[in-house]
Amino acid sequence: MTDVSLERLRAELRELAEARVRVQLERVLSPAEDDELLGVRVPVLRGLARTHRGLELEEVDSLVRSGVHEERFAGLLILAERVRTARGAERGALVDFYLARTGRVDNWDLVDGSAPVVLGPWLLEEGTDVLGRLAGSASLWERRIAVVATLALIRAGRYEPTFELVLALRRDPEPLIHKALGWMLREIGRHDEKALVDFLDRHAPGLPRITVRHATERLDPQERARFVRPRRGRSAG
């Protein structure tokens, strides 16, 4: 591929942008002042990533370092396409590329769209040591990457790394981490409700309320009521 392909992708992103979608994204993402939002839907971004998956890694780097939100997202999705077909040392190099650029994975949609499909396969093959470093980071986004990346492990029936992160991050100051923890617990419950309930029986009182609420969304209402604490100042009913 050449720079022509990179410029074509950038042009397509602007052609496919929608003003209404941009307004919605500005509301739900709260982007930084220097982050330009175009307003491209995520399914469209995924389609473009598949079409342009042949971009050279230097071109992917240019996208990931861009000040345009959707360019960063597209670059991360192209990286995920490359990880999907790579193996061994090649996959490891792509994961290293990702981990060296987490400063550009700087909003929840970028994290959630990339961590399970870029870092997740590596965790399955090479182990979970990197999760501890990410979970201990001062960066909100690196901590969320650690949590959301475990979705790949959950889908493979490996729940303990997620449980360990829930306990390690239960006092995190950021609601975006509390929500991510609840999301991953809910995903465990989709695969193994008993594993989720057993974990909550032991640890729910010490978890953030929003984590427990997200984790129990799919449980039977009576079962859920055992874990979800009523808000202070309101009756349980």
Backbone angles phi, psi at 27, to 5 degrees: -75, -45
- Across 64-89, average pLDDT: 95
Q: What is the structure's pLDDT at 208? A: 97
Tokens found for residue 196? 């989720």
- Across 94-111, average pLDDT: 97
Q: Between 217 and 33, where is the model more confident? A: 217
Average pLDDT, the chain: 94
> Topology of domain 127-237, per CATH?
1.25.40
Residues of the chain with CATH 1.25.40.290: 127-237
Under DSSP, the state recorded for 107 is: S
Q: What is the structure's pLDDT at 236? A: 38
Question: For the chain, how big is the Rg over CA atoms in Å?
Answer: 19
Residues in contact with 109: Cβ distance below 8 Å, sequence separation at least 6, in sequence order = 29, 42, 73
Examine the pLDDT at 4 and tell me if it is beyond 80.
no
- Please tell me the least confidently modeled range out of 32-41, 135-144, 195-204: 32-41
Rounded CA gap, 175 and 122, in Å? 27
Q: What is the structure's pLDDT at 3? A: 56
Q: Would you tell me how many other CB atoms lie within 10 Å of the CB of residue 152? A: 19
Residues in contact with 63: Cβ distance below 8 Å, sequence separation at least 6, in sequence order = 6, 9, 55, 71, 72, 74, 75, 78
Q: What is the structure's pLDDT at 203? A: 97
Rounded CA gap, 180 and 119, in Å? 16
Among 76, 74, 78, 70, residue whose Cα is nearest residue 26: 70
Q: What is the structure's pLDDT at 69? A: 97
Residue 33 pLDDT class (50, 70, 90 cuts):
confident
Backbone angles phi, psi at 126, to 5 degrees: -115, -5
